[in-house]
Chain A
C-alpha cells in the first residue's frame, strides 16, 4: 500500500475514533443543512441513529419548530454572503430529541476551511440548568427570609411582613393561591386560624366587600377541611387530588377550584403557632418541597412569636406606664423571648426525609434564656449529614451567631455543591466545615465568640443498600458516642479547634465503617455538664450507661434521645440551666429476612365457623418455640390475626361456606411476619375507629386492634385475584401505651 493511502486511511480511522468517543455530540452539515456526520454522542443525545440522521435536514431532526425559520434564514445568509455571525461563538440554545423533548444545549459551530461544511459540537445543559435553578431557588429562599425579618424589625407590621412572605412563597413554589396565618385556640381548646395575608380570591362583589373590610385578618374555624386536618394533627398535609381527598370540606359556591393543596405547620419550640396554606402548584406538592421550605417556616414562627411578645410588651407598657420596675420586667422578658426565638431558628425538629436504612431521633430541650445550641441536617441523594453545634457565649449575640452559622451552612453547601458536581461527587465534610470557617471566622473574631461543632456524614458506598460509612469533622465539640452490638460503647472524636479561633486551621476528617445495628449519639455539652445538687456533673460515663440501656431495651432512636434527656433532668433534680440537644441515629439491623429465628410455617384452613379457630392452634404451636419472644408479642399476634381473619371472612368471603384461607408465618430476628391470603372479593382497609363510650356503634373496632398489634400492615390485590394481607410486628415491645 502506498504510504499516502496508508496515512489517509490511518487519519480516517483516527478521526472516526475521535468522533465516536467524543463526550460532545458532533454534527456536521453542508450548506443546505443536510446532515453529513452524526457521531455516537449525538445518537445518544437526540435519539436518532446515525443511519437515519445522515442525509436528512438538520432543522427537521433536532431544531424545535419555532426556531426552524430562523435557522434557515441564517443558513441562506451564510450561503450568499459567506458571513456567519455565530461561527466560532459559544451559544446557549434549545434542541429537540426524536421523542420531541426540548432541552437546553451549549453549542459551538465552526466552518471547515475551504469547504461549505459546518461542524457543530453540542453539550446537554439540562443538569447544569437544573443545578442553577436549584441554587437560585435556595438563594431566593434565604433572601426572602432575610427580607421578611428585616421588614418586621424595621416596621413592626406583621400584616405587611406576611404579605411579603406570601408573595415570595407563592413565587418560589409556583403556587396560585395561598395564605399565611397564625394558629389560635378557642377557650375549649379547639384550634383555628387567623390569616395575616391571603391571596385575594374574591369571586364576586359581595365577597370583595368582605375581603376589603376584613382582610387581611380573616378567621377560619371549620376543622373538617384540609387545613383543619393540618390543625388537628400538627403535621404537613399534602393533597394532590383534592376532589377525592376524604379530608376535604368543600368550598363555598363560586370559589375558584383548588386542585392541589399543601398545608405547612409553623412550629415554634414544639408548639404549633402558625400555618401556611398553598394551592394549585402545577406539578403538585411533595415532601422535598416541604423540606426545602423548613428554614423559611422556622423564620415565620420566629416572626409570629416576636410579634406576640411585642403585643404583650405594648400592653404591659400601656398598663403600667408609671411603674418603672414593671416595665423593666417586661423588657427583660422581651430579651428572654428574643433569645428563645433565635433558638427556634437554630434548632430543627426531626428531618422530614430520612434516608433508607437509618432512623433519626431528635430531642431538644430549651431552658431559660440563652445558649447557642444548634442542630441541622443536610440531605444528599445517597448521603445524610448531621450538624450539631454550640456557640460560646450567652445572650442574643450567641443566638445571632448561631443563626448566622445556620444560614451560612446551607449557602456553603450549595456553593460547594455547584463546584463538586462537575466532578460527580458531593462536597466532603471537611470542605464544608472549611468553607464555614472561612466565611465565619472574621465575624467570630470581631464578636470575640467561637463555635464548636460536629459535622457527620452518613454515606452509602456504591452498590450498598444501606449506610456503610460515617465521616466526621470534629471542631472542638463533644465527641460522638457509638454503641455497637447493642452494648459496646466507643467515643468518636477528632482534634480540630473550634471555628473562630484560628483563621488558617485546616479541618481534618476521619471515616469509620458503619455496621448494621450501630447507634450514634450526638449531644451538646449541656448533657455532660449538667450538675446534680452536689455539683457533680452528669459526665460521659452516665451518657454511656443510659444510652446502652436504651439500646438494650430496643428503643427507637427518638426514645433513646428522650431517655437520655430524662436521665439528665432527674440527675439535676429538674433544675437545668443549659440547653440540651440530643440527636440519635440508629442504623437498621442487617436485613431481617436473612436472619431467621424460626423457619417459615404454613397452614391452610377452611372458614366454616366451628373450625375457624384452628389457625389459632397453629399459631400457638408455632409461637411457643420461637426463641426469645415475649408473652405480650405472642398474645398480640394471635389477637391481631384473629381480627384479620374475621375481617376477611366478613368482607372478603362474605360469610360464604367452602372457602379457604392460607396463612404463612415467619419469626425473624427483629420481627414476626404473617402473610394471609384469600381468594375472596377485593376489600379495602376501613377507617380506624378508637373506642369510646359515647359512640353507640358496637362493631368496627377490628381494624384498629389489628393496627395496634402490627406496626406494618399492607393489603394488596394481586393479578391472580388474591387478597394478600401482610402483617409485621416488631418484637420486644411490651406495651405501646406510652401516651
Chain B
C-alpha cells in the first residue's frame, strides 16, 4: 500500500490510497495495513489543511481502518482544516452507512465533487 498526494489548490490536497500496482482496486484498509497507513499519512498530508481522501482503490475498510480515518479528521479539524472522502466503493459505503459516518464526514462522488464541497 502507498499513499499518493496531489495538490488542487494551495488549500486543497488529495491523498489516494493505492496498491503497489496502480491498477489494483482491491486494497484493504484493515488491521494488516493500518500501521502502514498511519506511518505514511502525516507526510502525505504535509502542510495541507483541507484533505480529500480518495478511496477509489479501496475494496474494504474494517473497524481499525475506520479508527484511522477518524483520527485523521480529528487532527485536521484541530488545526482548523477538514477532511472529505471521495470515490467510495460499494462495500466500503455500506460500512460507512452502517456506522452513520456521513453524519460526521462529507462523502462525495469523486474528487471534483469533493473540491466543489470545499469551495462552498
Q: Which A residues have a C-beta under 8 Å from some C-beta of B?
A: 609, 613, 631-632, 635-636, 638-639, 642-643, 646, 691-694, 696-702, 704-705, 708-709, 735-737
Closest chain-B Cβ to A691's Cβ sits at a distance in Å of 5
How does the 8 Å CB contact mask read for B70-96 relative to A, with 1 for contact and 0 for none?
Answer: 110110010000000000001100110
Q: Find A699's partner among B28, B63, B97, B98 (CB 8 Å cutoff).
A: B63
**Interface membership of B68, Cβ < 8 A:** yes
Q: Told that A639-B98, A701-B99 touch, could you supply 15 new A-B pairs with CB distance under 8 A?
A: A609-B32, A635-B94, A639-B91, A639-B94, A643-B63, A646-B62, A646-B63, A646-B64, A691-B66, A691-B70, A693-B74, A701-B63, A705-B62, A705-B95, A736-B98
Q: Is the interface of B mostly helix, strand, loop or mixed?
A: helix
Contacts of B91 in A (CB 8 A): 635, 638-639
Cα A262 to Cα B100 in complex, Å, equals 33
Closest chain-B Cβ to A637's Cβ sits at a distance in Å of 10
Interface centre among A638, A698, A737 (most CB of B within 10 A): A698
Cα A638 to Cα B70 in complex, Å, equals 22
Nearest neighbor of A632 in chain B, beta-carbon distance: B94
Contacts of B32 in A (CB 8 A): 609
Nearest neighbor of A691 in chain B, beta-carbon distance: B99
Q: Find B90's partner among A631, A697, A700 (CB 8 Å cutoff).
A: A631
Cα A449 to Cα B70 in complex, Å, equals 63
Q: Which B residues have a C-beta under 8 Å from some C-beta of A?
A: 28, 30-32, 60, 62-64, 66-68, 70-71, 73-74, 77, 90-91, 94-95, 97-101, 104
Nearest neighbor of A706 in chain B, beta-carbon distance: B63
Given contacts A643-B62, A646-B63, contact A708 B99 (CB under 8 A): yes
Asked whether, in the complex, the Cβ of B67 is within 8 Å of the Cβ of A635, the reply is: no
Q: Find B95's partner among A635, A646, A694, A699 (CB 8 Å cutoff).
A: A635
Contacts of B31 in A (CB 8 A): 646
Asked whether, in the complex, the Cβ of B73 is within 8 Å of the Cβ of A693, the reply is: yes
Asked whether, in the complex, the Cβ of A702 is within 8 Å of the Cβ of B77, the reply is: no
Asked whether, in the complex, the Cβ of B77 is within 8 Å of the Cβ of A636, the reply is: no
Asked whether, in the complex, the Cβ of B99 is within 8 Å of the Cβ of A635, the reply is: no
Cα A708 to Cα B95 in complex, Å, equals 9
Nearest neighbor of A635 in chain B, beta-carbon distance: B94
Contacts of A642 in B (CB 8 A): 30, 60, 62
Q: Find A639's partner among B28, B67, B74, B95 (CB 8 Å cutoff).
A: B95
Contacts of A700 in B (CB 8 A): 63, 67
Cα A701 to Cα B70 in complex, Å, equals 11
Given contacts A631-B90, A635-B91, contact A735 B97 (CB under 8 A): yes
Contacts of A696 in B (CB 8 A): 71, 74
Contacts of B97 in A (CB 8 A): 735, 737
Asked whether, in the complex, the Cβ of A705 is within 8 Å of the Cβ of B98, the reply is: yes
Contacts of B74 in A (CB 8 A): 693-694, 696
Contacts of B66 in A (CB 8 A): 691, 701, 705
Contacts of B95 in A (CB 8 A): 635, 639, 705
Query: What would be 19 A-B contacts, judged by CB atoms less than 8 Å apart?
Result: A639-B91, A639-B94, A691-B70, A691-B100, A692-B70, A692-B104, A693-B74, A698-B67, A698-B68, A698-B70, A698-B71, A699-B63, A699-B67, A701-B63, A701-B66, A701-B67, A702-B63, A702-B64, A709-B98
Contacts of A631 in B (CB 8 A): 90, 94
Cα A609 to Cα B62 in complex, Å, equals 15
